[in-house]
Each structure stands twice: as C-alpha cells, then as structure tokens.
Amino acid sequence: MKDIKLTDAEKVLMEILWENKNIFMKDILEAYPDPKPAATTIATLLKRMQNKDLVGYTLYGNSREYYPKVEKGEYFKEEMTSMIDRFFNSSVTQFASFFTSNSKLTQKQLKELRDIIDKQIKE
C-alpha cells in the first residue's frame, strides 16, 4: 500500500466502510454520527478516496455500492510505521520505551505486553 494519509473526515467514512464492507450511499448517510454531513459532502469524500485508490464501487443501475479497497489492519499498520518513522527515527525500541513510560500502564498491562513479546520471540 502506498503511503496515503486520510483526513479526519475520510477516517470517519472509512470506519463506516470497514464496518459495513459493502454499503450504498443512503446507508452511509444513516450510519454517520450526528451531525450528519450533506450527501454532497460524502460524495466528494468518496470521490477523493477513490482517487487515492482506497474506495471502490459496484454500479447497480443508478446506485453505487461502495467498498473499502484497503483493509483496516493494513491501513493501521502503515499509519503506525509512518508515526514511528517520523517521531522515533524508525526505532521501534524508542517507540516502545516512550509508550511504556508515558502511557501510565498498569502492572497487569505491562505483563500482558511482555507476554506478547515473549510469544513473538518464541515463534
């Protein structure tokens, strides 16, 4: 996946698409939290996201059924990698150190993280 940044408005729309997989415009409007944007605003966002190759659609007569072309996990992975690159000089170790010392994690949460790391080391 190429390095694509979503605006906050695009992220809200992508969450709706990720949750629903395939969805028509009227259903997108219903799924939007209040205050709901105008249909033209959503149409503009969808077009912009199609240009970024993040959203596709299937045409049924005059209706378009939209779907995400990138998985949520894939997008999140790219976002995290980009953040680590920008803020931590591509060092996962620096990120982990910052995260664990500044997140006010409980002992239980720290142990859970250690268990996850230990499991990855064994695999």
- pLDDT band at residue 1 under the 50/70/90 scheme: low
Name the CATH code of domain 1-89 (choices 1.20.1080.10, 3.40.605.10, 1.10.10.10, 2.40.50.100).
1.10.10.10
Ranges for all domains in the chain classified under CATH 1.10.10.10: 1-89
- Provide mean pLDDT across the span 67-96: 90
Question: 14 and 49 in contact (C-beta within 8 Å)?
Answer: yes
Between 17 and 3, whose confidence is greater?
A: 17
Q: Quick one: pLDDT at residue 79?
A: 86
Q: Quick one: pLDDT at residue 2?
A: 58
92-108 pLDDT tens trace: 888 888 888 888 888 89
Question: 50 and 57 in contact (C-beta within 8 Å)?
Answer: yes
Q: How high does pLDDT run on average in the chain? A: 90
